[in-house]
């Protein structure tokens, strides 16, 4: 009998030691991705910056790793920012996003000297100026532009199209008005533009089109307003492998194409190439995480289907029910057994749609077996809920055969702690 190893750790032993469901994250995997970013982007090209989109997976330990690796952090809420503050993350490397930042969040960002705030709509400009004046600071900002390009992904995670809640529309009147406004403000410094076209993307063509659109804007605002773009942030979105087709591509497949197009456009339009920023999330962490479950009830409906229920489900991984996301899994304690049965992995929620995997090939399965779902590093822990009052699982970090608990399992009392 052989078990499934992850981060050189026996996952069946991890399940015994920490209980299930359990998120397991490989520190070595995260470091490999960060090394690739350093080698193929930051060191390869001058005037570049890379930040990790912390919405994919954020804990204090994750923020410490990203800081040690020298990357910046994209935060999108007061809570993500607060996590970074608590571990003394270098504030100049923080990019603060959000399509509806509250005054309280902006105040937290400005007081803590975040490196850049990405303005999603013109309403934020006055709020930032007012708060920055109060604290006597000058705040660097970028305008998030929705470049009007459609990406090939699920419609819920596509963001660059015209009809989107994110970003300032590509409309001369609105953008010019915004630039003229900030140019006269004492406490704001506009550095350039940002776009993010969507998530789980496998082709670089949409990035290339978006770069060309924004380069056109850079030329226009230089010619008409004298505004020189110093920075361009092209967002994240690089896809990873879950199940079936769709392999994670090397970073340079995206970044070489983005840089190539940017340099080409800058030469064509006689512009100095701005600093180029990227902000991947899923690509850094997604394949670096798995979730371990214990198999409980097995319900066979003869001639129809076999439902195999695990001790978690949509509260720890909402992606299958939200986006019809597909996952691969293995029975961790039977990794070498032949897979000649087909079952459906169900969660334990009171919800028909709580299915984690339809039609998974497995070996002969029994209650008590350990199931490992693969590629759950991104948007699982960070999107987890307490639906049905199910406590959130613990998170364990593994590296070279060693494991350490980085988030304790929630208790029932933890869920009640704010209740009167
Ligand atoms: C502004 C912004 N940057 C970066 C990301 C990271 O996306 P991903 O995890 O797909 O790389 C997102 C999420 O889609 C985003 O909204
Ligand atoms: N939460 C999404 C990605 C959204 C990215 C943030 N704009 C997912 O699980 O795929």
Atom of ligand 2 nearest to the CA of 55: 6
Mean pLDDT score, 305-310: 98
Mean pLDDT score, 142-158: 78
Mutate which of 198, 237, 284 for ligand 1? The one with the most ligand atoms within 8 Å of its CB, which is 237
Instruction: Map tokens 């209980």 to a residue.
Output: 19
For residue 307, give Cα distances in angstroms to 198, 302, 303, 320.
Answer: 34, 11, 12, 16
pLDDT in the model for residue 375: 98
Mean pLDDT score, 15-40: 98
Mean pLDDT score, 340-356: 97
Atom of ligand 2 nearest to the CA of 379: 9
Whether 319 lines ligand 2, by a CB cut-off of 6 Å, is yes
Q: With 0-12 CB in 10 A as exposed, 13-18 as middle and 19+ as buried, what is 71?
A: buried
pLDDT bucket at 81, cuts 50 / 70 / 90? very high
Residue 416 CA to ligand 1 centre (angstroms): 32
Mean pLDDT score, 9-26: 98
pLDDT in the model for residue 171: 82
CB atoms within 10 A of CB 391: 17
Instruction: Map tokens 């006269």 to a residue.
Output: 184
Which phi and psi (to 5°) does residue 122 adopt? -65, -20
Mean pLDDT score, 282-306: 98
Mutate which of 55, 155, 232, 238 for ligand 1? The one with the most ligand atoms within 8 Å of its CB, which is 55
Integer Cα distance of 416 and 297 in angstroms: 28
Integer Cα distance of 27 and 399 in angstroms: 6
pLDDT in the model for residue 151: 64
pLDDT in the model for residue 283: 98
pLDDT in the model for residue 285: 98
Number of H helices, E strands in the chain: 12, 20
Mean pLDDT score, 329-352: 97
Note whether 391 and 347 are within 8 A (CB). no
pLDDT bucket at 166, cuts 50 / 70 / 90? confident
Q: Which domains does the chain have, with CATH numbers?
A: 5-24+287-410 (2.40.37.10), 27-286 (3.20.20.10)
Residue 271 CA to ligand 2 centre (angstroms): 34
pLDDT in the model for residue 158: 65
Whether 166 lines ligand 2, by a CB cut-off of 6 Å, is no
Residue 335 CA to ligand 2 centre (angstroms): 30
The residues, any chain, with a CB within 8 Å of residue 420's CB and separated by 6 or more, are none
Which string of b and e fits 93-119 if b means at least 16 CB within 10 Å? bbbbbbeebeeebbbbbbebebbbbbb
Which phi and psi (to 5°) does residue 367 adopt? -60, 140
Residue 382 CA to ligand 2 centre (angstroms): 10
Does the pLDDT value for residue 159 go beyond 90?
no
Can you say which residues are annotated as belonging to the binding site? 237, 279-282, 319, 323, 351, 379
For residue 34, give Cα distances in angstroms to 28, 50, 202.
Answer: 10, 9, 19
Residue 279 CA to ligand 1 centre (angstroms): 7
Mean pLDDT score, 138-150: 91
Omega before 21 cis (within 30°)?
A: yes
> pTM for this one?
0.96
Residue 199 CA to ligand 2 centre (angstroms): 6
Mean pLDDT score, 263-270: 98
Mean pLDDT score, 404-418: 98
Integer Cα distance of 224 and 220 in angstroms: 6
Provide the CA 297 distance to its chain's centre, in angstroms: 33
Between 33 and 165, residue with greater pLDDT: 33
Nearest CA to ligand 1 atom 5: 236
The residues, any chain, with a CB within 8 Å of residue 90's CB and separated by 6 or more, are 67, 72
Rounded to the nearest integer, the mean pLDDT of the chain is 95
Integer Cα distance of 38 and 30 in angstroms: 12
pLDDT in the model for residue 213: 94
Provide the CA 129 distance to its chain's centre, in angstroms: 29
Mean pLDDT score, 250-263: 98
Does the pLDDT value for residue 245 go beyond 90?
no
pLDDT tens-digit readout, 206-219: 999 999 999 999 99
Can you say which residues are annotated as belonging to the binding site for pyridoxal 5'-phosphate? 237, 279-282, 379
Catalytic residue status for 350: yes
Residue 195 half-sphere exposure toward CB, CA atoms < 13 A:
29
pLDDT in the model for residue 139: 97
pLDDT tens-digit readout, 91-139: 999 999 999 999 999 999 999 999 999 999 888 999 999 999 999 999 9
Helix spans in 69-114 (H): 78-86, 103-111
Atom of ligand 1 nearest to the CA of 279: 4
pLDDT in the model for residue 150: 74
ipTM above 0.90, yes or no: yes
pLDDT bucket at 162, cuts 50 / 70 / 90? confident
Between 5 and 171, residue with greater pLDDT: 5
Q: Supply the angle between the helices 103-111 and 78-86 in degrees, to the nearest 10.
A: 20
pLDDT tens-digit readout, 177-197: 999 999 889 999 999 999 999
Which ligand sits closest to the CA of 58? 1
SS3 49: strand
List ligand 1's pocket residues with C-beta within 6 A: 53, 56, 74, 97, 196, 199, 235-238, 279-283
Atom of ligand 1 nearest to the CA of 157: 14
pLDDT in the model for residue 160: 63
Integer Cα distance of 234 and 44 in angstroms: 17
Whether 334 lines ligand 2, by a CB cut-off of 6 Å, is no
CB atoms within 10 A of CB 339: 14
Which ligand sits closest to the CA of 277? 1
């Amino acid at each position: 009998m052989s078990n499934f190893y992850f981060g050189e750790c026996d996952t069946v032993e991890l399940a015994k030691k920490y209980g299930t469901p359990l998120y397991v994250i490989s520190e070595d995997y995260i470091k490999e991705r960060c090394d690739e970013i350093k080698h193929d982007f930051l060191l390869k090209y001058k005037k570049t910056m890379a930040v990790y989109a912390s919405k994919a997976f954020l804990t204090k330990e994750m923020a410490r790793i990203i800081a040690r690796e020298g990357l910046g952090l994209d935060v999108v809420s007061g809570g993500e920012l607060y996590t970074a503050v608590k571990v003394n993350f270098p504030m100049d490397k923080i990019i603060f996003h959000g399509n509806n930042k509250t005054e309280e969040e902006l105040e937290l960002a400005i007081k803590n000297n975040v490196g850049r705030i990405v303005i999603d709509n013109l309403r934020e400009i006055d709020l930032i100026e007012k708060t920055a004046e109060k604290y006597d600071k000058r705040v660097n900002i970028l305008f998030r532009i929705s470049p009007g390009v459609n990406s090939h992904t699920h419609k819920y995670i596509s963001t660059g199209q015209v009809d989107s809640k994110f970003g300032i529309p590509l409309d001369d009147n609105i953008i010019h008005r915004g630039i003229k406004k900030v140019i006269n403000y004492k406490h704001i410094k506009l550095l350039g533009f940002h776009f993010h076209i969507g998530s789980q993307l496998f082709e670089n063509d949409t990035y290339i089109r978006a770069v060309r659109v924004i380069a056109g804007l850079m030329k226009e605002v230089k010619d008409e307003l004298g505004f020189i773009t110093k920075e361009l942030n092209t967002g994240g979105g690089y896809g990873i492998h879950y199940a079936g087709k769709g392999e994670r591509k090397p970073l340079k497949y995206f970044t070489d194409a983005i840089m190539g197009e940017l340099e080409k456009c800058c030469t064509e339009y006689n512009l100095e190439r701005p600093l180029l920023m990227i902000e991947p999330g899923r690509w850094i962490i997604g394949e670096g995480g798995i979730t371990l479950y214990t198999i409980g009830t097995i319900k066979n409906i003869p001639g129809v289907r076999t439902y195999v229920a695990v001790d978690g489900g949509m509260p720890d991984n909402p992606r299958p029910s939200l986006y019809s996301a597909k996952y691969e899994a293995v029975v961790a304690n039977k990794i070498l057994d032949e897979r000649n049965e087909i079952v459906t992995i169900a969660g334990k929620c009171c919800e028909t749609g709580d299915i984690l995997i339809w039609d998974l090939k497995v070996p002969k399965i029994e209650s008590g077996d350990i199931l490992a779902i693969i590629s759950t590093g991104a948007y699982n822990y960070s999107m987890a809920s307490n639906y049905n009052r199910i406590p959130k699982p613990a998170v364990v970090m593994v590296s070279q055969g060693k494991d350490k608990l980085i988030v304790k399992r929630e208790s029932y009392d933890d869920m009640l702690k704010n209740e009167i």
